[in-house]
Structure 1
Amino acid sequence: MPDHISSPAPSWDHFDLAWMKATYPEIRDVVGTDKPDEIGDLPRLAGICGYSPNPYFDECYYVARYPDVRQAIAEKRYVSGFEHYRSIGHRDRSPHWLFNEEYYVVANPDIGRLLRNDTGLRNGYDHYLRTGDAEFRSGSWFFSPFEYIKSTSDEIVRTPFRHYLAHQSGYSNSAWFDTDWYMTSYPEVLDAIRRGEWRSILHHYLYGKNHGHYDPCPYFSERFYVESNPDIRDAIASGQFNSGYEHFLLYGVKERRQPHPDVDLDQYGHSPYVQALLRNGRRPDIFVSYCRDRGVSPDVDAALELAETATKYAFEKKCSVLSINAARRPLDFSYERPDVSIIMALHNNFNMTINALTALRASHGGGLHLILVDGGSEDETRDLQRYVTGATILHFPGNIGFVRACNAAIAHVEAPVVLFLNNDTEIQPGAITAALQRFRHHPRTGVVGAKLVRTNGMLQEAGTIIFRDGSVAGYMRGKSPDIPEANFVRQADSCSGACLFTRADLLRQLDGFDEAYIPAYYEETDYCVRVWKSGHEIVYDPSVTAIHYEYGSSDLTSGASYINRNRLIFMGRHTDYLSRKLVRSELNTNTARSPSRSGARRILFIDDRIPLRNYGSGFSRANDIVTTMAEAGHAVTIFPIFKPLVHPSHLYTAFPDTVEIIWDRDLPDLDAFLAQRAGLYDVIWMSRTQNVRRLVPVIERTAHLMSRTMLVADTEAVSSVRDEQKDRLHGIPEDRLPDLADRLRAEFECLFVASRIVAVNALDARLLTDHGFTGVPVLGHLQTPRPGPRPWKERSGLLFVGSIHHRDSPNFDSLEWLVTHLWPMLEHVLPDDAKLLVAGHIGPAASLVGLPRSPRIAYLGEHADLAPLYDSARLFIAPTRYAAGIPYKLHEAAAHGLPAVASDILCRQLGWQDGHEILQARTGDEVDFLRVIANAYGNPALWARLRYNLQARITTENDRGTYAETIDGILNAP
């Protein structure tokens, strides 16, 4: 690469002669020329004297940071750190104390995608200088462009980083570095800066190893962190990390390592408020959140409970604002074919009525038949026809009460579904559509109830529970409305009449509400019990959401007296029903939240993470298992060993809406979780052997809470086989290899805690049987044939699909081998239009930046829909060199009708025949892979035969019905 002075865009890869002369005046005598191309012996001189070639590369920092660079210079392999960086260091090293390559790529996933493909960018720093700085991106935890701009109010700054390099005494605070605290704690640093020893506060902190003498903020101790984590000492000494703090920011904070003897991130992170801040991106990580809160998180739920009176006042104010404008623009409820008839009983409270009707009209675009029943109102409610058009309005001279008013309206119902809605209730957008879909797709549903949220933002109820004494409790009352327990569809005993949907024909069949409960309270509970007795179901649906001004239509005192009276009436009406209910107890809440169903099991499913399909690595299979269980009518709860890294909204779309997803807790919370749900679960399904091992201590501590629970250990894959393959691949001598039988015994030891063992394929089942486990069922992958329509002649190239969670994974190893060893050979034998497409989830601990790039390799990253890729490629390639279980990606490729070339270890796992369903090549043998691919790529007859046989295989082995039967057999095993 030739040396050059200038560049069309800012670049680190040049000698800036003018800048060097200004920075190092002494070189003017050495380099007398002003011609850009005549730099003479300047590179060697710069290396000897430690001169930086331009403002973007710090020679002294780079050499001091990386011991191997110093060694290479001493051995005269490079004349300077800059030469090393230009040659190989740019791939993964940091060139300047205020830029971190790994931070930049991880913090900006779009940059990672750019760098994985041939875009003309050599590394993240190249992008940062050319584009990222002007986009106000940050290249380091320690430099916030917006904070820096605040300190430069007297001028316009379009590239903060470049500006800072020219004015390094500028002030630059950041979320991870407390400049004010640093100056106060270490006043000697300011003196050193004044003497010219350092350019700025950041320069002092970041430039050299301080060995624990200086900390970045009061909540991180360098000395404590390094002493507490001896595993990172060698990495710091080798230059992999500049300090313990850099390791903490890259990895330690995610692993919840302790940064300071007085800082407990785990305890702090259990606050729901903190978790919400992190989920919504208001705090970049838990450590920054801790620093800003000084370790004290507010009890938001308690504060909101105390503030309910104030929030009710605020709600009333909002209602009054709407009522002022109501006459100017009447609400139009005209309809032709109504989707739903809404019954609203009224007595005064005009402002709230207008608010409720405004929200109702805005919530649904279809036809709404509004029936308003006014019982002797004395306020503006008497003249509602001035404010509402197209509604049926019934007037009564006196206050006839809620029950009688609702019953009077039933005769006017025209729609197939009826919504009872209080005038102190604000229904939310989408609620009506969700309820109508529930009735449309589930004929046995008789009532759909809402998630009711009080004015203070806390739950009033997520469905209600009826106890044996006839009392009724709102499930999850007083909790946050986003908690997992309130956000899945389930059967409930009853639901509040403040927002209750029911079928119109069923309402007429049951003669509406029982007027024994006049004027109100318990009428909807009684109705729901009669719905149950009629053979229909009560369903709580969290998509049906409404804000309720509780006791807006009556005061709390009178409400309590009606409740006590009507509970006794209810008990007399339904003694038979109540005899089967649980005794009222806080400990019975979770067990009582849903009526038991014949044949349905309550299942707790535990995996590493919430199993999203795009994660691969066995998570697709786990997702299929959960989905199949839920579709069979079982009540499934998912509990992760590790909290999810994605927003909960991603999780709820990945499973049937009846699945409860505990996304806000993880393994340390499991003991308390099981205690809260003692006796609830019929089955605990533990996915992956390593998780069973993690769960053994928990099971031993809580066994008395689940004496009748079936414990299923789903091995997912036998890792000992994979580990032995990996050791052999890496050249571990035979005499140092652990015996496979010993590995298997150690791996299987934890499985004896389970009452049922599941294997993913016949090979694993035999290994388990050989170690004393009997009756091991095989549960593989679920697939449905869906071959892409594109013919052979319109396809080209190879497709690699695999999730990479870390660089030590089999998928990363196989991809690295493919692009480094095999693909350069394939480029010479495949047509010019043949490309290698690489797709799949890439975890935060994995990076493909260092892999070879080529115009004929496209690193596509994660794709929501892989079908177009399967339909465009001619062959699928799976050159895995060590593996366990069954490769889901090969089953998926087969289902899409894409023939595959795979290593022989994968073919043995599948049990597929070479040349019949798959093409086999020797593991790790690029010559054999080259031969197989070259012979197959231009052979349409072979391609068609493989495709046909694959579809037959998938139809026979991966059928949905067979899959469901296997799971049913596991759950109902004696």
Structure 2
Amino acid sequence: MGKNIITSWIDLQNELLCLKINSMYYKKVEAGRSIYYVFHPKFYPFLLLRLFVVFLNFFRFNSLLYQPYKIRSQKTFFSNQIKSSFLKNSFEFFFIFAGLRHFVKPSYEADYYNQRIKDVDLSFSKTDKPIVSIIIPVFNQVEYTRTCLKSIALNVSKKYEFEVIVIDDCSTDQTSEIIASLHGIVYKRNSENMGFLLSCVRGIEVSKGKYICLLNNDTIVLNNWLESLVETIEDDPNVGCVGSKLIYPYGLLQEAGGIIYSDGSGVNYGKYQNINYSKYNYKRNVDYCSGASLLFKKEDYTTIGGLDKRFEPAYYEDTDLCFSFRHLLGKEVVYQPLSTVVHFEGVSSGKRAKKGNIKSYQDINRIKFVEKWTSVLTESFAKCNVDIAAKKYLSTKKIMIVDSYLPIYDRESGSNRLFNLLKIFKNLGYHLIFIPHDSKIIEPYYSMLTSKMGIEVITKERGKFSFIQVLKTISKETNILWICRPNLNKKYNFLTRYNAKTKWIYDTIDLHYIRLLREFKLFPKKKLGRKINRIKRLEISLAKRADYTIAITTIEAETLASEGVKNIEIIPNIHVPYQGKKLPSFSNRENVCFIGGYNHKPNVDAALWLINEIMPLVWKINPRIKLYLLGNKPSPALLAYANENIIIPGFIEDVSEYFLTCKIFVAPLRYGAGMKGKIGQSLEYALPIITTDIGAEGMALTHNENILIANNAEDFANNILNLYENEFLWDKISKNSKQELSNYEPQKIEQLLAKIFN
């Protein structure tokens, strides 16, 4: 067992142990137990294990592991509960080592915002035409309100103009003096105490924004809180309202969307769980989202008649509002995990219902809610397992997709193809479960799948055994198991055992053994020769066993058929024509470019062939032509070639500028297999291409019509020099490129997939 495996195992056990201790402790403390509950005997075995893990970490000699202890030891959470300074610090020290501060981050605390924004510097820009009106009803608790406002000032960008409206419900502390004096705040004080609901109504009445965002004052909004809410509702006209992920200040999950049962009782999905667990981290439809952070269109709010005043003074008004958006307007209620809010909960109203307090209205208004929505609640809200209830709005058609890692769609061709396939699967009405074999959460790709597209991404977050159990459970309801690459098909095809109706689809990406065989012809090595035979046997065996085998090109489909494989379908790369400004003409372009991920050996070979053999022949005739080697992860060895004529910029998020300004795209691929995404990418921009037979493989392109083909350095150089000066030929190939691309547009691929799936 390697060192990294051991340390990863220690970290995982520490995470699971801390979650257990935190969940046990805070669940009881929130219900009214003393802060000293951690000394109950039931904690002893867990605390001993935790201290053992801490002991192990101190022997790993990694200063980063000690940092949380150092930071936390300088603070205390017990300013109000414990008088003695010595006891306070001792108790905090114990909490740190017990793991009860494990999930806390600095941005969850008021100090973080006080250090960055002084009280006198807190202000907001005034705007006459806000996109969003943030409405914050308050009753006392001015320090919470000020922290909330500081978090808005610090964490909300200028992408969407907003106004902040504070409705003061007759506070008796310093709220009126402090908040009313802040620049840029719309402050309104009620003439009498009206309660939360009517304060919200008043705030909405005076608002100017297209969107209303209700926000509790006992909250801290985190980075991208507002932007992700607005983007969600703007991206889909079917969304009626969208709510945030709520977390406790001690770092556990408070709510990942709400569940309502037929008796009107509610459940905060994921309460006291790890905020990073995958089942709480993808966009989905829910019964309701808490009014602690909820965004909706003001126009829709007016259409449904606003907040129902039968739920005065508070509780169930947000649930009723969400039900109205869904059942009166026919719109969706969406949970958006990218929007995260720390919610202290119960600061104004208390955490437990007592006779006469505001919290007591929770039970009173539940009865009113049931009376109003009886016909809806009896349909599909029977009590059941919370994980099942949380997924009631998901499609019953499910696809599980397995690949080596998340689709890094702007960095490599295979990932771009898969990313486009995911979009098509969604269009076909499936719920998608994506399994990245490496379990790595890579941004922005993870958020694109989960929070933008609503794809459930499953990782080994709780260890390998738990991971396998989760996959087995999901497999029982999976219609299609789409597995990429031969090695992953070998590992994951066992999942078909749990549902006889599941279709197993083996997506080859390309025929690996053909790529290796071509590499062997250029660089013959005995070890590579043995690997080719092993990979070929595996690929053919898997293709014969799978319900469907996906080839990328006609050539590879014919190769598989010749080996006795049946049920072959061709799903090529997917490309969309460039939709931007008018394409520059021949005379407004210069230089040549190549693109590829340099962790893929055929791309490295192509780049070196260009540098060492092809371009020197070009530069003898035209030394002014520059070569741009675009793409991800160029090695230090490749970067060493960079000079005034060879530009190697590394990864660039948007490469369109190069495809719009370069005169020629070159792809001197000497080995490889499948369809080359870089060729399709150039066709998208109608940029004339010079490549090899292997580069053009599988795309039915014709030399001198829609592409130029050259298979040795001299011919390649001559084609570059000729096309660089020949405007007639350049225009002809550019024009024909646009026509060729139509075979690879999403609509055609969607038709093919619908046929396979049905």
Q: Deviations over 1:770-799 (max 9, x none)?
A: 533226243332231469844434544442
- Kindly report which structure 2 residues correspond to 1:297-696, keeping only aligned pairs within 5 A, or say none: 306=100, 336-360=128-152, 363=156, 366-368=161-163, 370=165, 372-374=167-169, 377-381=171-175, 387=181, 391=186, 393-395=188-190, 397-398=192-193, 400-407=194-201, 412=206, 414-428=208-222, 430-468=224-262, 470-534=264-328, 535-558=330-353, 562-564=361-363, 566-581=365-380, 584=383, 588-589=386-387, 591-596=388-393, 601-630=397-426, 634-644=430-440, 647-649=442-444, 651-652=446-447, 657-660=452-455, 662=457, 665=460, 668=464, 670-675=467-472, 677=474, 679=476, 681-696=478-493
Larger RCO, structure (CA 8 Å, separation 6 or more): 2
C-alpha displacement of 1:494: 0.7
- When Rg is computed on C-alpha atoms for both structures, the one with the higher figure is 1
* Segments of 4+ moved more than 6 angstroms: 271-274, 286-289, 293-305, 308-312, 316-323, 328-334, 382-385, 736-743, 850-854
Q: Give me the whole-angstrom Cα distance separating, in 1, the residues matched to 2:132 and 2:720.
A: 61
Q: Give me the whole-angstrom Cα distance separating, in 2, the residues matched to 1:580 and 1:449.
A: 24
Contact 1:268 1:295 in 2 (8 A): no
C-alpha displacement of 1:624: 2.1
Q: Deviations over 1:161-220 (max 9, x none)?
A: xxxxxxxxxxxxxxxxxxxxxxxxxxxxxxxxxxxxxxxxxxxxxxxxxxxxxxxxxxxx
The reply on whether 1:957 has 2:721 as its aligned counterpart is no
Q: Give me the whole-angstrom Cα distance separating, in 2, the residues matched to 1:512 and 1:792.
A: 59
Q: Give me the whole-angstrom Cα distance separating, in 2, the residues matched to 1:287 and 1:941.
A: 69
Q: Give me the whole-angstrom Cα distance separating, in 1, the residues matched to 2:697 and 2:135.
A: 65
Q: Compared with structure 1, are the counterparts of its residues 782 and 580 closer, same or farther at alpha carbon in structure 2 (3 Å cutoff)?
A: farther
Q: Deviations over 1:713-772 (max 9, x none)?
A: 222212222222223333479xx9789999655313224564443221222233344533
Q: Give me the whole-angstrom Cα distance separating, in 1, the residues matched to 2:345 and 2:177.
A: 25
- Kindly report which structure 2 residues correspond to 1:747-896, keeping only aligned pairs within 5 A, or say none: 747-751=539-543, 754-770=546-562, 771-774=564-567, 776-785=569-578, 789-793=583-587, 795-805=589-599, 809-828=601-620, 830-842=621-633, 847-849=636-638, 856-896=645-685
The secondary structure found in structure 2 opposite 1:648 is coil
The secondary structure found in structure 2 opposite 1:521 is coil
The secondary structure found in structure 1 opposite 2:510 is coil
Equivalent in the alignment of 1:726: 519
Q: Compared with structure 1, are the counterparts of its residues 335 and 852 closer, same or farther at alpha carbon in structure 2 (3 Å cutoff)?
A: closer
Equivalent in the alignment of 2:687: 898
Q: Deviations over 1:371-422 (max 9, x none)?
A: 5151x54444576785468646353545x54345445655555544333222
AA aligned opposite 1:593: A
Q: Deviations over 1:310-349 (max 9, x none)?
A: 999x9688999999x97x7896796634544444444333
Contact 1:341 1:419 in 2 (8 A): yes
Q: Compared with structure 1, are the counterparts of its residues 272 and 461 closer, same or farther at alpha carbon in structure 2 (3 Å cutoff)?
A: farther
Q: Compared with structure 1, are the counterparts of its residues 616 and 418 closer, same or farther at alpha carbon in structure 2 (3 Å cutoff)?
A: closer
Q: Give me the whole-angstrom Cα distance separating, in 2, the residues matched to 1:647 and 1:961.
A: 29
The secondary structure found in structure 2 opposite 1:965 is helix
Contact 1:883 1:905 in 2 (8 A): yes
Contact 2:138 2:166 in 1 (8 A): no
Contact 1:329 1:387 in 2 (8 A): no
Q: Give me the whole-angstrom Cα distance separating, in 1, the residues matched to 2:234 and 2:639.
A: 53
C-alpha displacement of 1:533: 0.6
Contact 1:648 1:663 in 2 (8 A): no
Greater mean deviation of Cα atoms: 484-493 or 647-656: 647-656
Q: Compared with structure 1, are the counterparts of its residues 680 and 414 closer, same or farther at alpha carbon in structure 2 (3 Å cutoff)?
A: farther
The secondary structure found in structure 2 opposite 1:913 is coil
Equivalent in the alignment of 1:247: none
Q: Give me the whole-angstrom Cα distance separating, in 2, the residues matched to 1:726 and 1:481.
A: 46
Q: Give me the whole-angstrom Cα distance separating, in 1, the residues matched to 2:629 and 2:469.
A: 43
The secondary structure found in structure 2 opposite 1:901 is strand
Q: Compared with structure 1, are the counterparts of its residues 528 and 951 closer, same or farther at alpha carbon in structure 2 (3 Å cutoff)?
A: same
C-alpha displacement of 1:910: 2.0
Q: Give me the whole-angstrom Cα distance separating, in 2, the residues matched to 1:768 and 1:474.
A: 51
Contact 1:837 1:859 in 2 (8 A): yes
AA aligned opposite 1:715: T
Equivalent in the alignment of 2:506: 713
Q: Compared with structure 1, are the counterparts of its residues 858 and 740 closer, same or farther at alpha carbon in structure 2 (3 Å cutoff)?
A: closer
Q: Compared with structure 1, are the counterparts of its residues 714 and 354 closer, same or farther at alpha carbon in structure 2 (3 Å cutoff)?
A: same
Greater mean deviation of Cα atoms: 469-478 or 384-393: 384-393
Equivalent in the alignment of 1:60: none
AA aligned opposite 2:453: T
Q: Compared with structure 1, are the counterparts of its residues 268 and 753 closer, same or farther at alpha carbon in structure 2 (3 Å cutoff)?
A: farther
Q: Give me the whole-angstrom Cα distance separating, in 1, the residues matched to 2:350 and 2:103.
A: 13
Identity of aligned residues (%): 21
C-alpha displacement of 1:536: 1.4
The reply on whether 1:941 has 2:728 as its aligned counterpart is yes
AA aligned opposite 2:627: L
Root-mean-square deviation (CA, aligned residues, Å) is: 4.5
C-alpha displacement of 1:962: 2.3
- Kindly report which structure 2 residues correspond to 1:67-466, keeping only aligned pairs within 5 A, or say none: 258-259=2-3, 264-268=6-10, 270=12, 290-292=60-62, 306=100, 336-360=128-152, 363=156, 366-368=161-163, 370=165, 372-374=167-169, 377-381=171-175, 387=181, 391=186, 393-395=188-190, 397-398=192-193, 400-407=194-201, 412=206, 414-428=208-222, 430-466=224-260
Q: Give me the whole-angstrom Cα distance separating, in 2, the residues matched to 1:536 and 1:527.
A: 12
AA aligned opposite 1:611: P
AA aligned opposite 2:637: L
C-alpha displacement of 1:905: 2.7
AA aligned opposite 2:523: H
Q: Give me the whole-angstrom Cα distance separating, in 2, the residues matched to 1:797 and 1:332.
A: 48
Q: Give me the whole-angstrom Cα distance separating, in 1, the residues matched to 2:123 and 2:740.
A: 60
Contact 1:484 1:661 in 2 (8 A): yes
Q: Give me the whole-angstrom Cα distance separating, in 2, the residues matched to 1:762 and 1:538.
A: 44
The count of residues paired between Structure 1 and Structure 2 equals 680
The reply on whether 1:966 has 2:752 as its aligned counterpart is yes
AA aligned opposite 1:352: Y
AA aligned opposite 2:492: L
Q: Give me the whole-angstrom Cα distance separating, in 1, the residues matched to 2:63 and 2:382.
A: 43
Q: Give me the whole-angstrom Cα distance separating, in 1, the residues matched to 2:294 and 2:270.
A: 18
C-alpha displacement of 1:674: 1.7
Q: Compared with structure 1, are the counterparts of its residues 467 and 713 closer, same or farther at alpha carbon in structure 2 (3 Å cutoff)?
A: farther
AA aligned opposite 2:62: R
TM-score normalised according to structure 2 size: 0.76
C-alpha displacement of 1:596: 2.4
Contact 2:575 2:681 in 1 (8 A): no
Q: Compared with structure 1, are the counterparts of its residues 655 and 508 closer, same or farther at alpha carbon in structure 2 (3 Å cutoff)?
A: closer
Q: Deviations over 1:135-174 (max 9, x none)?
A: xxxxxxxxxxxxxxxxxxxxxxxxxxxxxxxxxxxxxxxx
Q: Give me the whole-angstrom Cα distance separating, in 1, the residues matched to 2:116 and 2:65.
A: 42
Q: Compared with structure 1, are the counterparts of its residues 656 and 480 closer, same or farther at alpha carbon in structure 2 (3 Å cutoff)?
A: closer
Q: Give me the whole-angstrom Cα distance separating, in 2, the residues matched to 1:871 and 1:886.
A: 23
Q: Give me the whole-angstrom Cα distance separating, in 2, the residues matched to 1:563 and 1:429.
A: 31
